[in-house]
Homo-oligomer: A and B are copies of this chain.
Amino acid sequence: MITAALMSIGDELALGQIVDTNAAWLAEQLAARSIACVEHITVADERSRIAAAIERLCGDPNVGLLIITGGIGPTVDDLTRDALADAMGEPLVEDPAGIMHLEIWFAGRGSPMPERNRVQALRPESGRLLPNRVGTAPGLAAMHHDTTVFVLPGVPREMMTMFEEQVLPRLDVEEQQVIRTGIVRCFGLGESALAARLGDLMRRDRNPTVGTTASQAIISCRIRAVGDPKWCDRAIEEAAAEIEQRAGVYAFGRDDETLAGAVVRELVRRSETVAVAESCTGGLLGSMITEVAGSSAAFLGGWLTYTNEMKTREIGVPAGHFGSGAAGAVSVEVATDMAQGARRKAGADHALAITGIAGPDGGTEAKPVGTVFIALDSAGHDTQVRRFQFTGDRAGVRDRSAKAALAMLLWRLRGCEDLDMLWQKTNGESVSRPSS
């Protein structure tokens, strides 16, 4: 099986002025064709460093393919051609076909070729130029120490076109062995608690392997299988099913599924509807739901009751809750009344309500920043209210609040509503109250 390394060239990348998206795109394209990337490297516009990196990677017996992007423009800081020739111990020679390509390119745009573009027709003596249909910079192909080297432009659109038109047809892709990947997404428990549930599935010596990564409280279990394509597909399906079995209702979907997507699909399947009432999230929950294409079949709408007056006037939360000595806006009572009021006024099957303190200000000793009450009211059920203590900044508290609300509804729809959720504060307030 071929393994590859990727190299991105440019000061603007090394200095962090732009994020390198080429490497991730190439790695994914190669992975889809069974070529594993063992390393990406980003190097500044420094001829000797680029040459040293080429020499090291081509000398590495594990690297059969090296794809370099960037540094082949016409300016003095474009040094990839020179560095490649240095590493190969060869002179650069001018390629007549390359000169012709450049002259035609500029003629097509009604101008003569600027003299400085002439360097773009240079190639190491034993290498060859790769035609670029969408820009001036031809690519390069060469062989150094048994490693096949391709050099492509750094501009993503040109790089992608040339990879597909010039590189792919030249790769000797073995079709028997492929790498296939799959993802199971989980929410509502910690990464180590999930790892404990997955147990031996995460052993490094298995095929497929399973690894976890966490981002914005969503834990992704990444499955990676190597082998015959049909076997891989089956192995990934089996591993995904096993992960779902072990993760239980914490697993909400596969691949690119979102919590809101899972909720919307479940509601549509049952022909049920949902409405929302949001205070501290101010529209984030509604926004997550309506991000899902087709959500209009399940989402009726909602109220952003940011002030107490809006809570009372629009969805009937008794004003008495807000007086001194009363429960206050961030309370089990207000969350309950918001959910019940929203469901009644919208005529929905379910309503979710969120009220809390997102911070940075507004916290008290009894209700510190991150205190959030979330209520779920559904036809024929008691209203369920949970109290959470989220950590993190304002954006984090709001994000977790909206996701926890979606998980509460999803778990009810899947018949597991009594499960505990991470961040939940089980202090007697998180109880069900009869729907009015």
Interface residues on A, range: 35 or more
Answer yes or no: A117 CB below 8 A from chain B CBs.
yes
Contact check, A15 vs B398: say whether CB atoms are below 8 A apart: no
Answer yes or no: A143 CB below 8 A from chain B CBs.
no
**Set B155, B224, B283: member contacting A278, Cβ < 8 A:** B283
- Give the CA-CA distance A164 to B73 in the complex, in Å: 37
Contact with B along A265-300 (1 / 0, CB 8 A): 000000000001010111111111111011110011
- Give the CA-CA distance A49 to B276 in the complex, in Å: 50
- Give the CA-CA distance A154 to B215 in the complex, in Å: 10
Residues in chain B near residue A346, CB distance under 8 A: 310
Contact check, B76 vs A204: say whether CB atoms are below 8 A apart: yes
Contact check, A359 vs B17: say whether CB atoms are below 8 A apart: no
Contact check, A300 vs B306: say whether CB atoms are below 8 A apart: yes
- Give the CA-CA distance A195 to B300 in the complex, in Å: 43
| Given known A-B contacts A12-B211, A31-B15, A360-B293, A49 and B42 have beta carbons under 8 A apart | no
Answer yes or no: A176 CB below 8 A from chain B CBs.
no
| Given known A-B contacts A75-B195, A287-B284, A16 and B12 have beta carbons under 8 A apart | no
Q: List 28 A-B contacts (CB under 8 A).
A: A12-B222, A15-B179, A15-B181, A16-B23, A16-B29, A20-B23, A20-B40, A36-B44, A38-B43, A38-B46, A38-B49, A39-B43, A45-B211, A49-B62, A75-B192, A114-B193, A155-B214, A276-B283, A283-B285, A283-B290, A290-B304, A290-B358, A291-B398, A293-B360, A294-B361, A300-B310, A301-B304, A301-B314
